[in-house]
Structures are given as structure tokens and as C-alpha cells.
Amino acid sequence: MMQLAVFPNMSKRRAGEIVDRIFNFYHNKDVRLVMPATEARQFRKEEYGLPCVERVHVDMALSIGGDGTLLGVCRRFGEQNVPVCGINLGTLGFLADIEPRELEGRLAKILAGQYRVERRLLLSGYIRNDLGEKFLGNAINDVVITKGGVARMLRLGLYVNQTHLMDYKADGIIVSSPTGSTAYSLSAGGPILNPTIRALLLTPICAHTFQMRPLVVSEDDEVLIKVDAMQDVIVTLDGQVSHKIQPNDEVIVRKAKTTAQIVKFDDKNYYDVLKAKMWT
């Protein structure tokens, strides 16, 4: 029996409709559905609710919302190698591969095993100081270093593999995976990378110099950012989890030991999706 975990974004207007369609489609099929207890109560599926879905075996997680919802679900299952399939109720939806009009057809393909799983590079963020290294968490899209409350530029030092590349002033820097190249990095002027490219993308945010341009480095490189000790600095993972940096902290970004597993279907390729989302 296949077991699927359903993760609806409760703030999305059509989430309840999609949940009902999923449960109706898989009714009397060899599929067991589970949900987080809070969401199960919200959508009147109490008998399917579990207090900690991550602790039970599931074959796949269904994310109902936008790309942000899918990012959160991927982080929840990051250590368990659970593939995540996104049902798009957001705006762009680069990661969420199923549109509402396609739902039942895609659910049938999932049941028949007619899908593939793409392993996407994950970023691991750390803070290093005199006490050692502290793990902040993993990110699928990006690790972003930005200024805190006062609207002043940061003074940043950029190092790759312990080589000091340059010091510069900017509003911050984005360390992005190829998957995240169509997220915040794109808005800051970074290039679009095919998500299968094994690389990290360093994109400055409003750099006060023409010398600092977006830079693509190897996925195996270690990126270190030093920030002026007197400035208020925030590190954010995927735009969802934030950490305040203390004086003399250094931010390190490396390739994670695990990968994100995203469900895709063979009748859609990356460039078709890119064209539809960006230029149609």
C-alpha cells in the first residue's frame, strides 16, 4: 500500500477544494493518506491527522500551495529522502509541478509510478565564531545575508575555499542553488541556471561597486562571508527561517550532505516550464 502525506497551505483559498479532490480520488484505492493534525482538523479530516507526520514512513509528500509551501515540506523531510510533489496554488510555481486542472490525471500517474524524482542540491548554512560552528539549517533555494533594521549598506568580505576574493559594500549577498536561481537571486540580477547544474551562485544585493558581479562557483566550494562586527545582520534560509548574526560571526555556506527530492513528470521539461513561467 502506498502512503502519502498531504500538506496543505491553510492560507490558500483553494486548498480545501484540492484536499477534497485528493481524498475523493484515492478513495477505495490502495493508498493511505495522512496529514499533520492541525491541518486535518482545519479541513475536517481528523481521522487522518497525525501529531508528527515526519516520524512515520511515507512514500511521497503532496504539497498544496506555492513554491514556498513546497520548500517548507522539503525541509521537513530533508533527512528522510522522501520525494515531494507540489500542487501549485501560488503565482509562478517553478517547483510545484501540478496545476489544479491537471490534478486527477497526475494523481493517477503517481499511483501508477509514472513519474521521476529529481535530486536537487541543498545548501547548508553555518555560523562560525570563537565557540566553533553552529548549524543553521538547510535551504533549497538560497541562504541570504542582509542588513537588519537600519537602512545602511553592509561591509562584506567574500571568501571561496579560504581565498579572499574581495571586500565590498552592499545591501547583502545571496548564496543560491541552481534551483534558487529563479527566486530572489533572479530579482537581484543573477543568471538563471538549469537546476541540474552542479554549482553555487553568488549574487550581490545592490553592490556599491561595478567590480562585484554575480559569480558561479563549484558545488563543492565553501563560501564564507565576513561582516563588519558593528552591523546588524540577518541570515535567512529560503526566505522562511531567519537568524540574527552576532558581532564577529562568520557565515559559511556549503553543499549539504543530503538532497531535496522533487517529483516531476516526463511530459514537462525544464525549458517548457521556464518559458511558460517567465516569457508567456
**Residue carrying the nine cell digits 524524482:** 117
- State the catalytic residue, choosing from 59, 67, 167, 272: 67
CA angle 193, 198, 199 (to 5 degrees): 65
The one-letter amino acid code at 259 reads T
Pairing of strands 223-227, 154-160: antiparallel
Length of the chain: 280
**Residue carrying the nine cell digits 549577498:** 173
Most distant pair of Cα atoms in the chain: their distance? 62
Residue 67 annotated in active site: yes
Virtual torsion, Cα 81, 82, 88, 90, nearest 10 deg: -60
Starting at the earlier edge strand, list the strands of the sheet with 241-245: 215-218, 199-205, 172-176, 142-147, 233-237, 241-245
E strands, the chain, where? 2-8, 31-36, 49-50, 60-65, 84-88, 116-129, 132-139, 142-147, 154-160, 163-170, 172-176, 199-205, 215-218, 223-227, 233-237, 241-245, 250-264
Integer Cα distance of 262 and 256 in angstroms:
16
Q: Please identify every residue annotated as catalytic.
A: 67
